[in-house]
Amino acid sequence: MPRVEFKDYYKVMGVARDATEAQIKQAYRKLARKYHPDVSKEPDAEARFKEVGEAYEVLRSPEKRAAYDRLGSGPRPGEDFRPPPDWGSGFEFSGAGPGAGESSADYSDFFEALFGRAAGGRAGRPGFETGRGEDHHAKVLLDLEATLTGGARSFTLRVPEIDAEGRIVAKERVLNVQVPKGILPGQTIRLAGQGAQPHGEGKAGDLYIEVEFQPHPLFRIDGRDLYLELPVTPWEAALGATVKTPTPTGTLVELKIPAGSHAGSKLRLRGRGIPSSPPGDFYVVLQIALPPATDEKAKAAYRAFANTVPFNPRANLGV
Amino acid sequence: MTSFDEYLPGEIFEEGAALSVADLARMFAVGEQHIVELVEEGVITVFEIETREWRFRGADIRRARIALRLERDLGINLPGVALALELLEELEQLRRERGSRS
């Protein structure tokens, strides 16, 4: 038995060790709503959601909870844990998992050491014995460049598979995929025949890869449009100027700032967004950056400007 | 079962696809009646009915996926899922608007 880290499921759920079933369910619902990857904007939402799902999987089932409680509070969380030698005898586990995350095989090593994989795996769904293998679903984070130019990317996926003993095991699988140019956040890449193998004769299922994008340091994605915040000086905005601007494809362009621009002015470069059909646009949003008045010369220049150009930016506030 | 040196041609699923009720049911491993309920609840809309068979595409496939996940993972009923989706979309819209101003 490999050494694995003990997990305190009660702590994960934020409930007492003698919590009732109703309290556990309530705690789970609350945490699941908070960390559900489709709802939450927390950066570690997916990991937290899986952890909570696993804890609930154990604590909701009287048999599993009893078995887990028999371990006592175990070693302190984070310490190595070995299941007792007589572990696993005398318990029967039933019921499908709550379906945390996308892969039913995504339990922690601790969970697997106790309950195996099959205990939490989804049972085969009735009504789908059509001879085709099951479709698989996965999710990847792409870089923006992948959709701008298309191109080869390697994805490492954890794929549940049934081993010789009928247990579900997670296999790492590296897929080299030609990412289609113009794919948008939330869209799906389909790879025909890359899902599960059929049980008997028939075609393999398909693999659906849902795509999201990593935040880009410069460009923000909105649908098929891209946005860049471009700082300009007050005189560039007021008098007009031509400034070097990075574009999504990596080239620098000379962008003409029209005279009389202000903070928040949007300049559109048509068709330079995500090359979808129709292609998105690229918007440059101006920000006015003020030179710091740190030395005497700059202060004098500001004072001279104030004296020359009377200006009340708060006129519409009635002051 | 995978070879490591070939690049699989990916296709953007939403662009080509016009899926039937049976396709969606298969893709998400639920019964066909469940997909019909999504339509009846207004979670997803039918794209073309000329062929007499319901077809779905693009954004509706995505909505169906999120709806089924919320239903399964959070134990929400369909009217609740429909409401959650509408609010999530509104929130996303607000975040975008705020993002483009700041």
Top residue of B15, B77, B94 to mutate, by most chain A CBs within 10 Å, is: B15
Phi, then psi, of A48 in degrees rounded to 5: -65, -40
Q: Which residue from A minimizes the CA distance to B22?
A: A128
User: For residue A253, what are the contacts with CB-CB under 8 A and spacing of at least 6?
Assistant: A244, A245, A247, A269
Q: Give the total number of structural domains in chain A.
A: 3
* B 37-96 residues inside an 8 A Cβ radius of A: 61-62, 65-66, 69-70, 72-75, 84, 88, 96
**Level-2 CATH architecture, domain B13-101:** Orthogonal Bundle (1.10)
Considering Cα of A114, then A122, then A46, then A20, what sign does the dihedral take?
A: negative
Residues A294 and A268 in one domain: yes
Residue A105 pLDDT more than 70? Answer: no
Q: From the CA of A17, how many Å to the nearest CA of chain B? A: 23
**For residue A159, what is the domain's CATH number?**
2.60.260.20
Residue of higher predicted confidence among A106 and A128: A106
**What is the model's pLDDT at position B102?**
47
Mean pLDDT, range A105-115, rounded to an integer: 72
Residues A150 and A205 in one domain: yes
Identify the band that residue A171 occupies on the pLDDT scale cut at 50, 70 and 90: confident
Residues A267 and A249 in one domain: yes
Identify the band that residue A100 occupies on the pLDDT scale cut at 50, 70 and 90: very low
**What is the model's pLDDT at position B29?**
85
Which range, of A22-26, A124-128, B38-42, averages the lowest pLDDT? A124-128
Nearest of A36, A222, A212, A40 to residue A138 by alpha carbon: A212
**What is the model's pLDDT at position B54?**
86
Tell me the DSSP string of A242-301.
EEEEE-TTS-EEEEEEPTT--TT-EEEETT-S---SSPP-EEEEEEEPPPP--SHHHHHH
Is this complex's ipTM strictly greater than 0.95?
no
Residues A13 and A58 in one domain: yes
Residues A50 and A78 in one domain: yes
Query: Is residue A318 a part of any domain in this protein?
Result: no
Give the span between the Cα atoms of A82 and A87, in whole angstroms. 10
Mean pLDDT, range A119-139, rounded to an integer: 57
Report pTM. Answer: 0.65
Q: Which of A169, A198, A213 is the last residue of a domain?
A: A213
Identify the band that residue A300 occupies on the pLDDT scale cut at 50, 70 and 90: very high
With CB atoms and an 8 Å threshold, state whether B12 touches A128.
Answer: no
**What is the model's pLDDT at position A87?**
53
Residue of higher predicted confidence among B78 and A197: B78
Using CB atoms, pick whichever of A99, A176, A220 lies closest to residue B99: A220
Mean pLDDT across chain A, nearest whole number?
81
Question: Best-predicted range by mean pLDDT among A77-91, A130-144, B4-18?
Answer: A130-144
Identify the band that residue A6 occupies on the pLDDT scale cut at 50, 70 and 90: confident
Phi, then psi, of A78 in degrees rounded to 5: 100, -20
Residue B35 pLDDT more than 50? Answer: yes
Residue A190, chain B, CB below 8 Å: the answer is: yes
Contact, A182 vs A276, CB < 8 A? Answer: yes
Token digits of residue A301: 């220049």
- Give me the residue label for tokens 């078995």: A67
Residues A209 and A234 in one domain: no
Residues A9 and A82 in one domain: yes
Identify the band that residue B2 occupies on the pLDDT scale cut at 50, 70 and 90: very low
Q: Which of A175, A191, A213 is the last residue of a domain?
A: A213
Which range, of A86-90, A185-189, A290-294, B69-73, averages the lowest pLDDT? A86-90
State which amino acid sits at residue A186: G
With CB atoms and an 8 Å threshold, state whether A191 touches B27.
Answer: no
Residues A225 and A289 in one domain: yes
Q: How many CB atoms lie within 10 A of CB A80?
A: 10
Residue B49 pLDDT more than 90? Answer: no
Residue A163 pLDDT more than 90? Answer: no
Count how many residues are written for chain A.
Answer: 319
Alpha helices in chain A (DSSP H): 9-13, 21-35, 45-59, 62-69, 109-115, 144-149, 234-239, 296-308
Could you report the per-residue pLDDT of A185-225, keeping only the tens digit for each? 888 888 888 887 787 778 888 888 888 888 899 999 988 89
Boundaries of domain holding A272: 219-308
Residues A203 and A229 in one domain: no
Residues A102 and A11 in one domain: yes
Query: Is residue A93 a part of any domain in this protein?
Result: yes
Q: CA-CA distances (angstroms) from residue A122 to B18, B77, B99?
A: 28, 21, 40
With CB atoms and an 8 Å threshold, state whether B8 touches A183.
Answer: no
